[in-house]
Amino acid sequence: MKKKSAIIIIPTYNERENITATLEQVYAVLRTVKNWQCGVLVVDDTSPDKTYELVKKLQNKYSNLHLFLNKRKAGLGGAYLKGMAHAFNELGADLVFQFDADLSHDPKKIPQFLKKIEAGNDLVLGSRYIPGGSIPDNWGLHRKFLSVIGNLFINIVLTNFNVRDWTTGYRAVNKKVYQAVSPELTTERFSGYTFQIGFLHKAISKGFKVAEVPFHFKDRNFGKSKIGPEYIKNTLLYIMKARLQEIFKNRIFKFLVVGSVGAFVQLSTLQIWRLLFPFQLAFFLAIEGAVISNFIFNNFWTFSDRKLQSKQYFSKFLQFNLASGGSIIIQQLIAFLGEMYLGLFDLFTLPIINFTIDTGTMYAVVGILIGMFWNFFAYSKIIWKKQNKAH
Ligand SMILES: Nc1nc2c(ncn2[C@@H]2O[C@H](COP(=O)(O)OP(=O)(O)O)[C@@H](O)[C@H]2O)c(=O)[nH]1
Ligand SMILES: [Mg+2]
């Protein structure tokens, strides 16, 4: 059987002092890999220090050493997008690695990455934040803080703690992930280091399997890191935006918005009906207005993926009314039981506004919350029940 092909992509910008040692050590490891056909692709942006000329010379020494030369500096993301396109489409790679030219990434870990890929993972991360991994001791407080707190912040905002090292630049990426994710990363925002987090987040959102391999990040020997404020700003913008989009797509969020609109409809129309009708009737009409509003918005927004057919409208609207009635009964029942068994008394007074909370308020709030649970259950399990695809 033909061996699968893995290409180590190394972007370089002024890495003349590092690239020789890097290639030396990478090739020493690649020679020990038996079940993959391996090669290296250096993506250089016509570095002023002429890194690319050195690479051209080294091509005589190493087999399967490719060079992709960009006319001008395209940023880290730009370099990886071009490098991956070249590796997958021209060099026939099945898998690529992202690897720094400065030996911060320990090449001895490459076989472990390959094992994780062979085990069925699509994307493997070299991780500094799982046992067996670390960041350099000699990093300044500033850089340590940025990396540790930055990663923690990303974990929290994206509420995903499965991945510990979101910003790592040491990765193995299979072709499927590249094909699914890269078309969404072509804008200017991803041309720099934000490419890394955008790539990873989109891969996870699309359900690709991600694994981590620990490694000790070594500080670069020569030269300076090219990371800058562009990165921090664009990364912040990216994760905030990604999170907001996730929230807006969330069914429970939509359910809550629709419910609030319903409450607003009920309160405002009540004022109008009261001018025209006796209070009981006005009250009923206002509630029914909210029910209709909730039914329509839930059907076309919250459960837009399970939209009802028009012939179902009548029976489902009846069910919807029963469900809404059910939550009113729940609220009444809780108020009634609370009053009977615990009684009505003041709990505490809010300072400044001097507003006293009593147990009656508490029963009402508890009733509304449980009523909401009931409503969401009835909507998602009965009225807009998930249909099995097979008919
Ligand atoms: N081709 C190319 N490579 C870049 C660019 N910016 C950074 N690199 C390379 O990407 C790798 C990571 O950059 P580095 O400055 O070490 O970032 P750090 O490890 O996060 O501090 C290094 O090999 C750099 O030479 C760029 O604009 N173009
Ligand atoms: Mg580096």
- The string of pLDDT tens digits covering residues 229-271 is 778 888 889 999 999 998 999 999 999 999 999 999 999 999 9
Specify which of 221-225, 319-323, 347-351 reaches the highest per-range mean pLDDT: 319-323
CA–CA gap between residue 186 and residue 182 (Å, rounded) = 7
Residue 209 has pLDDT above 90, yes or no: yes
DSSP letter, residue 265? H
Ligand 1 atom 14 nearest Cα: 225
The pLDDT value given to residue 189: 84
Residue 391 has pLDDT above 80, yes or no: no
The pLDDT value given to residue 388: 73
Which residues contact ligand 1 via a Cβ below 6 A? Answer: 11-13, 15, 43-45, 73-76, 79, 100-102, 104, 169, 220, 225-227
CA–CA gap between residue 312 and residue 342 (Å, rounded) = 44
- What is the number of the ligand closest to the CA of 168? 1
Structure tokens belonging to residue 35: 């079940």
pTM, rounded to two decimals: 0.80
Residue 107 has pLDDT above 70, yes or no: yes
Query: Bridge-partner residues for 68, per DSSP?
Result: 43
Quote the ligand 1 centre to 76 CA distance (angstroms). Answer: 6
Q: Please, what is the angle between helix 51-58 and helix 16-30, to 10°? A: 30
Sign of the CA dihedral with 311 first, then 317, 318, and 320 last: positive
Tell me the CA distances in angstroms from 137 to 143, 223, 328, one per residue in order: 11, 18, 61
Lowest mean pLDDT among 19-33, 42-56, 331-345: 331-345
Residue 90 has pLDDT above 70, yes or no: yes
The pLDDT value given to residue 367: 94
Pocket test of ligand 1: the residue of 12, 171, 190 to mutate, having most ligand atoms within 8 Å of its CB, is 12
- Ligand 1 atom with the smallest distance to the CA of 70 is 1
Segment 347-352 shows an average pLDDT of: 86
CA–CA gap between residue 294 and residue 324 (Å, rounded) = 10
Lowest mean pLDDT among 66-70, 79-83, 136-140, 293-297: 136-140
- Ligand 1 atom with the smallest distance to the CA of 167 is 20
Helices H, strands E: what count in the chain?
12, 9
pLDDT-derived band of residue 44, with 50, 70 and 90 as boundaries?
very high
pLDDT-derived band of residue 187, with 50, 70 and 90 as boundaries?
confident
Give the HSE-up count for residue 174: Cα atoms under 13 Å, Cβ half-sphere.
18
Pocket test of ligand 1: the residue of 8, 71, 100 to mutate, having most ligand atoms within 8 Å of its CB, is 100
Quote the ligand 1 centre to 177 CA distance (angstroms). Answer: 22
Residue 353: burial class (beta carbons within 10 Å; 0-12, 13-18, 19+): exposed
Lowest mean pLDDT among 219-223, 372-376, 381-385: 219-223
Ligand 1 atom 24 nearest Cα: 12
The pLDDT value given to residue 390: 55
Residue 225 has pLDDT above 80, yes or no: no
Query: Bridge-partner residues for 65, per DSSP?
Result: 40
Q: Domain map of the chain by residue range? A: 4-247, 251-382
Residue-averaged pLDDT of the chain:
93
CATH of 4-247, one of 3.90.550.10, 3.40.50.300, 1.20.120.1760, 3.90.79.10: 3.90.550.10
Structure tokens belonging to residue 224: 């300076």
The pLDDT value given to residue 161: 86
Share of the chain above pLDDT 90, in %: 80
